[in-house]
Structure 1
Amino acid sequence: MSETNFLLEAFKQTNDQLAGHGKRNVQILKEALQEVDGQQESDVYGSGQIIEEFQAKMATYLGKETAVFFPSGTMAQQIALRIWCDEKGLKKVAYHPLCHLEIHEEDGLKELHHIESILLADKSRLIELDDVLSMKEEVASILLELPQREIGGQLADFETLESISNYCRQRGIKLHLDGARLLEVLPYYQKTAAEICRLFDSVYISFYKGIGGIAGAILAGDKEFTEKSKVWKRRYGGDLISLYPYIVSANYYFDERSSKMEKYYEDAKELAKFFNSCHAVSTIPIEPVSNMFHVHFHAPKERMESLLVEIYKETSIGLTGYLREVTKDTCSYEVSIGDQYAKLLEEKVKHVFQLLDEKMKSSGY
């Protein structure tokens, strides 16, 4: 067994974890279905009460005219950008160098739609208004991700979003929101989802990240846009005979957890302080702006895995099941706070970080 697998196995054997909502198992669906009438009719190829009511609910929440449920965000976002490119007759879009479409989708946008991506800003920082103003090429759409996951979940200030939105509308550029974690950033902005989405022409949100459902996504916008998205959804094979297991879980966990985002945010800030109090450990951002952040250990990946396994065995509390090598002397992982953190006793959490601090110091890092 590799050391990385050893870390994952040790993590799975812990009784408690600091992050997330708990283990992803079939209990997620069982909980969501427990109060559902078994005689309720399922959706059929994108139609039916169960899907249409949920789509209407999400459209209202996001402040958009209509919304469409998709089995995946990857599908939804590629389709959104294709629609905007077709409308303008220009197959160029702009987004961050570490955008999900650029680094996690096997060039789906380029291979399936022949759309060229224009990369804005340096990969280590957020897109700013100046990056948009200095674009030398015309684009059909700009995608902004809130928060920017790959750099620790950082966020632009709301005034920057407003400025970019105003510029795009003046220039006829469609602004799309990768809001996979939109609910998670509402406490930081102190805005409603609709207030933020008002700045964007189209919006995508996820139901398995902060919400903790099985899978699925919503794509929202005006009726003309969403009707076109339904055609593309059919072309992609996204109109499964029934999507109700995803819809039921999305609806259940949305109602269960959307009101908890403020708590997750405050817990994330508290947890980040614990990490930053430890020797040779730091977070990005130093103070989180949502329920997520990145933890950086100033120690080699293999050595850090061994130290974490020791902590797991001593405390039965897991921090992470993986580490990503940044350099030969540093490694990192991503934290997303959910229901689990609040279940832990404060003294147990403090004990974990006391051990982490001691082990990092004694290892000479």
Structure 2
Amino acid sequence: MTTVSPLVAAFRQASYPVGGHGRKNIQVLKEALHEFDDKLESDIYGTGESIEGFQAEMAAYVGKEKAVFFPSGTMAQQIALRIWCDEKGKRKVAYHPLSHLEIHEEDGLKELHQIESLLLGERDRLIRLEEILALNDEIACLLIELPQREIGGVLPPYEELEAISAHCRANGIKLHLDGARLYEVLPYYQKSAAELCALFDSVYISFYKGIGGVAGAILAGDEGFTAKSKVWKRRHGGDLISLYPYYLSASYYFKQREPKMGQYYKEAVELASLYNSCEHVATLPLVPVTNMFHVHISVPKEKLEPILVALYAETGVGLIHYLRESSEGVCSFEVSIGDAFAQIPKELLKRTFERMANMLQ
């Protein structure tokens, strides 16, 4: 039997988890599939009316000619960069030092595709336009992640994105959007997905992060690009015999939650303000620009964990189930707002943070 930490156990017992869309279990799939006619035919190796219809819907949403459903974003993004490298005849791409491709994929881009990555900018901030303008290396593609998750979900000004896009097009550099959380940036930018994606040559979006589906991703671009992506998907083993549990749940939760992104964003701003009212606590960014942000608490882990355990037991509100500790004794974690936040009574939430402020003194 797996032993869980006291913090995890206390979080599971809490009546009101703060982040996400609630408990992630098989009910997520049961709820989604319950909405579909049981006579709906499955896809077969990525083809069929249901999957092709969903791909067409998502292509229209992001304003691209075509879209292809992938079982994972890791697969989709490596393939996107491979296509652009082949097209440009160059084996080098550029992205942020904390890109998912750099820190979570075991050098997949290098080992599987022999593509070299150029890490652009500093780890603790966004890539800046001037760094792109000063780039001397010949690259096939520049990848931009919106929002930049590992540094708090921050975003560049929209005007800077326009300037980056114009520079890349003028200099023959393909621009790819790591839009795993694309939906989550739209309320801040006050743009449609199609308007934002028009700045990019190819786009990846996820269906299990802010949307809360089971798994899966879309890769979108022009017809030539997506035709090549289908070949590479087959080479990567991505054409499972059936993908319907993934894209049907993606479709179901996309329709439910994409319209709520503005609400989640406002609630994230509200929650960050409560965190920042506590001594020793600071959010990054101070005021969120999406529905996600990071929390930093200047209290050592061995002291903070029992405080949180006691807080959850007393209030029934579960803030987080894990803590990362830096060498300076500062603990941090990520917050992402979804459906769960609206279920917490406002007075209870206020009392929870007042209690936490007292316990951290």
> Could you say which TM-score interval applies, normalised by the shorter chain?
over 0.9
The residue identity in structure 2 corresponding to 1:72 is S
> Counterpart of 1:154?
154
> Counterpart of 2:62?
62
Matched, 1:217 2:217: yes
> Counterpart of 1:284?
284
> Counterpart of 2:25?
25
The residue identity in structure 2 corresponding to 1:104 is H
CA distance in 1, matches of 2:198, 2:123: 27
CA distance in 2, matches of 1:139, 1:20: 37
CA distance in 2, matches of 1:295, 1:32: 32
Q: What per-residue deviation string (whole Å, max 9, x for no partner) do you get for residues 291-334 of structure 1? A: 00000000112211111111011111101110111234201000
> Counterpart of 2:199?
199
Q: Secondary structure at the match of 1:293?
A: strand
CA distance in 1, matches of 2:174, 2:347: 50
Q: Secondary structure at the match of 1:75?
A: helix
Q: Secondary structure at the match of 2:90?
A: coil
The residue identity in structure 1 corresponding to 2:83 is I
Matched, 1:319 2:329: no
Conserved in 2, the CA contact under 8 Å of 1:85 and 1:91?
A: yes
Q: Secondary structure at the match of 2:44?
A: coil
> Counterpart of 1:72?
72
> Counterpart of 2:262?
262
Q: What per-residue deviation string (whole Å, max 9, x for no partner) do you get for residues 34-65 of structure 1? A: 12111110000010011000000000000000
Conserved in 2, the CA contact under 8 Å of 1:4 and 1:322?
A: no
Shift of 1:174: 0.3
% same residue: 63
Conserved in 2, the CA contact under 8 Å of 1:3 and 1:302?
A: no
> Counterpart of 1:127?
127
Q: What per-residue deviation string (whole Å, max 9, x for no partner) do you get for residues 148-207 of structure 1? A: 000000000100000000000001000000000000000000000000000000000000
Conserved in 2, the CA contact under 8 Å of 1:45 and 1:239?
A: yes
> Counterpart of 1:234?
234
Q: What residue ranges of structure 2 are gaps of 5+ in the alignment?
A: none
> Counterpart of 2:176?
176
The residue identity in structure 1 corresponding to 2:100 is H
What TM-score results when the alignment is normalised by the length of structure 2?
A: 0.98
Shift of 1:16: 1.1
> Counterpart of 1:109?
109
> Counterpart of 2:81?
81
> Counterpart of 2:339?
339
> Counterpart of 2:186?
186
Q: Secondary structure at the match of 2:279?
A: coil
Q: Against the structure 1 CA distance between its residues 275 and 2, is the aligned structure 2 distance closer, same or farther, given a 3 Å change threshold?
A: farther
CA distance in 1, matches of 2:126, 2:219: 24
CA distance in 2, matches of 1:187, 1:348: 27
CA distance in 1, matches of 2:42, 2:239: 13
Aligned length: 361
CA distance in 2, matches of 1:178, 1:356: 36
What TM-score results when the alignment is normalised by the length of structure 1?
A: 0.97
Q: What residue ranges of structure 1 are gaps of 5+ in the alignment?
A: none
- Runs of 4 or more above 6 Å deviation: 1-4
